[in-house]
Amino acid sequence: MKNNKTLRVAVFGSTTMGTALSHLIASAGHTCTLLTQDATVQESINTQHCHPTYFKGAPIHPAVRASMNIADEIPKADLVVMAVPSHAMRAAAQQLGALIHPAQSVLSSTKGFEPTNTKLMTHVLREECQTEHLGTISGPNMQAYMVKGLPTTLVIASDSAQMRQHGWQAFTSPTINVNTVADLASYEYLSGLKNIVGMEVGMVQGLGLGTNFQGLVAAEGMKELDQLLTKMGLDSKPLYGVAGIADIFLVCTSEFALNYQIAVQMGQGMTLEEALAPIKARGEMAEGVESLRVGLELANQYEQPMPLLEAAHALAFSTRPVSKEEFIEAAFKRNTAGH
C-alpha cells in the first residue's frame, strides 16, 4: 500500500516527544495539530516554527499547527498521538475520553507505567476511551535526533489493523522506517521495562567497575529481563530487535539519555532526589526509575529472581546499602562445577 493518503493527526502534549513526532508527521505530508496547554508554545510553533524551550530552536516543520482547543481538534482527527508524561496519562485519557469516538486511532508514544500501580499506558487509555484502536510506539527514537531529520525505525504495536495502518502511514518517510507488529502486550511491557538494563549499566559505570563489566551487565541484565517476560507469558524475542537491543544501546550511549545519566550519578553516590532535581527543574522526566519499581514488583509477583534488578532497585531507592560486590555476584553466573 502506498503512503499517499493524507491523515489528520492530533498530537496531544507539546513535550519533547510530542513536538518531535509532530515534526515527523508534518514532514511525511500529513495534517498535524499539536495540542498544547501553553500559550507561549502555541505562539512559538505557529509563528517561529520552533519550540520555545526544547531542541535549542531547531526548526519544526512549518506545517505543524499548534492549538489549545482540544475539544475542537480531537474529534476531527483520524489518529490521536498521546505525548504526555506517564504520570499525566490518566488525567489526559479522561479528558480525551469525553471527545474520542470508536472509529479513531489512539497511539501512545509514552512509555512506562501509571504511578503506584503496574498499568501500562494502553491499559489506562482502554479504561478511559471508547476506541479499540490503541497502539504504542517503540524503537530507538530519541527526540533530539528525530527533530534533526536523522534516520531511524519506529515500531508500531497494536492489535488493531487500522491502528497499525494509521501508524505506518503517519510516520513513513525517506528517513523514517516503520515496522508494524500485532503483539501489543509483549512490545509495550518491553518498552516499559527495557530501561532497567540501561539503569543497571549506568550504575555499574558510576561504581567504576569498568567497561568490560558494563558489557557483561548489558548481557546479563537482558537475560534477566528475558526470563521475566517469558514468565509473564510474553514473547521475549522483541528484546533482541529494534524495540529492545537498539533502544537499550541508545540509552547507554546517547548524550541525551537522562535515565542513564542519573543511573551513573546514583552509582557515584548521589541520591535519587539529588540526581533527579536538575531534570525536574527543566520540566523533564526520567521514566527509567519507574521501570525499576515496576520491574521488581513484577519479578516478585511472578517469582522470578532478578539479582541485578534487586541491586539496582536497592541502590536507586536507598532501601539498603549496595556494594560493588553485590553487583559483581549478581552479574556472575558462577559455574561451580569447574568443567
- Least CB distance to a second copy at residue 164 (A): 5
- Least CB distance to a second copy at residue 146 (A): 7
Site for a second copy in 99-118 (CB under 8 A): none
277 binds a second copy (CB under 8 A): no
Report the DSSP beta bridge partners of residue 180.
156
Among 168, 235, 270, 287, the residue binding a second copy under the rule CB under 8 A is 168
Q: Look at residues 38, 11, 37, 6 and name the one whose alpha carbon lies nearest to residue 22.
A: 11
CA end-to-end span of the chain, whole Å?
56
Among 59, 115, 241, 307, the residue binding a second copy under the rule CB under 8 A is 241
245 binds a second copy (CB under 8 A): yes
Instruction: Select the span of 121-129, 185-193, 252-260, 289-297 touching a second copy (CB under 8 A).
Output: 252-260
Cα–Cα dist 163/168, whole Å: 8
Give the residue numbers annotated as catalytic, written as ranges: 194
For residues 289 and 198, the answer to whether their CB atoms sit within 8 Å is no
Q: Look at residues 245, 253, 252, 264 and name the one whose alpha carbon lies nearest to residue 204.
A: 264
Nearer to a second copy, 95 or 214 (CB): 214
319 binds a second copy (CB under 8 A): no
- Least CB distance to a second copy at residue 207 (A): 10
- Least CB distance to a second copy at residue 271 (A): 25
Cα–Cα dist 100/80, whole Å: 9
Q: What residue ranges in 85-221 does DSSP mark as E strands?
A: 105-108, 133-138, 152-158, 176-181
Among 9, 125, 242, 315, the residue binding a second copy under the rule CB under 8 A is 242
Among 219, 280, 283, 323, the residue binding a second copy under the rule CB under 8 A is 219
Q: Which residues of 36-74 are buried (b: 16+ CB within 10 A; e: fewer)?
A: beeeebbebbeeebbbebbbeebebbeebebeeebeebb
Count of residues near a second copy by CB under 8 A = 63
142 binds a second copy (CB under 8 A): yes
Cα–Cα dist 115/86, whole Å: 8
- Least CB distance to a second copy at residue 120 (A): 22
Contacts 24+ apart (CB under 8 A), 95-102: 95/70, 96/12, 96/125, 96/128, 96/129, 97/128, 97/129, 97/130, 99/70, 99/71, 99/74, 99/75, 100/74, 100/129, 100/130, 100/131, 101/75, 101/130, 101/131, 102/130, 102/131, 102/132
- Least CB distance to a second copy at residue 115 (A): 27
186 binds a second copy (CB under 8 A): no
Place of cell 520555545: 52
148 binds a second copy (CB under 8 A): yes
Half-sphere exposure of 191 (CA within 13 A, CB side): 30
- Least CB distance to a second copy at residue 241 (A): 6
Among 161, 278, 280, 300, the residue binding a second copy under the rule CB under 8 A is 161
16 binds a second copy (CB under 8 A): no
Among 75, 210, 269, 283, the residue binding a second copy under the rule CB under 8 A is 210
Nearer to a second copy, 124 or 187 (CB): 187
Nearer to a second copy, 99 or 244 (CB): 244
Q: C-alpha 228: how far from its chain's center? A: 19
Binding site for a second copy (CB under 8 A): 1-3, 139-142, 145-146, 148, 150-153, 161, 164-165, 168-169, 172, 175, 177-180, 209-216, 218-220, 222-223, 240-242, 244-250, 252-256, 328, 331-339
